[in-house]
Structure 1
Amino acid sequence: MTSVSLLSEVNDVWFEKWRCDDAECKYQMIKCGTAVADNLSGKNQITQSSLVSEIAKARQHIQKSLKNEVIRGTANQVDNVLISRLEAVEFENKDLRIVTQDLQAVVKKLESRIAALEKEDKAENIQENKKNEDDDDDDIDLFGSDDEDEEAERIKEERLKSYQERKAKKPSVVAKSNVILDVKPWDDETDMAELEKCVRSISMDGLLWGTGKLLPVGYGIKKLTISCVVEDEKVSIEELEEKITAFEDLIQSVDIAAFNKI
């Protein structure tokens, strides 16, 4: 190939074809209505059509609506939580109000009972003081003779003696205790019925036996748990334990399970 033929081929190359393609594309877009030609400052510019702008506005409106829905849903959730908490507080306040009313009623009853007792004690004290004053007035004779003084002294002594006798006849409060004893046998072959019979055979002034029952201890062994009421001044618990353990063939030991004053 000669140099002349190479030069002719180079001259046939179209270096500005892209400009023609670009112009053709713009022309087709204007023809389809997707773009309009606008000559601004000597330059051909492509602007968005009204359809594209409407689509963009629609997208913005949808995004804004979605955000509003999310905010509205969150606000509704917060409102529901607050409403449930307020309902719970109102329910608790209602219960507290009922309890407070019950307590107030109980306090009023107690106050009325205390007032009645105080009134009774006050009336009894007034009657006692009045009786003592009458007794003192009867014993005093400012214008009496010596014989009258002796008679008054004798009457006073008789009244004092009578008062002491009446006081002695009044039933005094007896101190008692409720005792529960655990009586343990030697082994599982011990006759527990005979053991309980021996325990109940103990008789002391001021001692009253109560109910008894058998409770398991372990390895087939059972203990006798028996209750009794004793007068503190008459019955010694130590002495009672000694009398129970005196049945040494049947009884191994005695323990105090409970001791309560009555």
Structure 2
Amino acid sequence: MANPLMNESVWFHQQKFEQAEAHYQQILAGTATPGQIAGGSVPPGKMDSLERENRELRKVTDELRAMVLKLENRVSALERGSGVPAASASAPAAATPSKPADDDDDEDDDDMFGSDDEEEAAELERLKAERVAAYKAKKASKPTLIAKSNIILEVKPWDDETDMKELEQKVREVSTDGLKWGSSKLVPVGYGINKLQIMCVVVDDKVGTDFLEESITAHEDFVQSVDVVAFNKI
């Protein structure tokens, strides 16, 4: 069976809503508390639940506030350690206007550094030149070691009729810088033939055995051959 009021516009809870509106106005006026309801009071169990929720919300709020303070203190400590002021750290990097580059200052800086490099290079060159000069002077002051050798030559005549005194004279006539003749003697070979054994001192850089042999055998009327029998460094 159809409800005869289904098509009627009826507000069955109008009284409850009016009481709630009046209670809200009393709360605003300070004559009532949120725990009270118009025409009655909140049940004890509901009041305990509300108070418990209120305490929990206050606890969460206190924890959140403590966490925020802790984070702020940590950020401040980090900013002090890095040397960045708090104000500049909190501001966006893009908000800080950059100073326009001064071309003249850059050129002056380049010239300054360039001058330092040139002066340093010049100083290094001067020190190098002084050290080279000191080394050359030290080397020049040292006595030069002259290498010399003691050579004994045997000069053979053609036959027993060769005048050995004249042959020795011809040998001693060989003269050059770095050659000094020493003692000599005649050594018998056989059949009345003697050979001349003569000593000389030579400077190695100036006189060699090839020179001595060629110079002595040039007296071909007296000399048959020349042999080196001893060669000692002195």
Q: TM-score range by the shorter chain?
A: 0.3 to 0.5
TM-score w.r.t. length of structure 1: 0.41
Q: Which structure shows the bigger proportion of residues in helix conformation?
A: 1
TM-score w.r.t. length of structure 2: 0.46
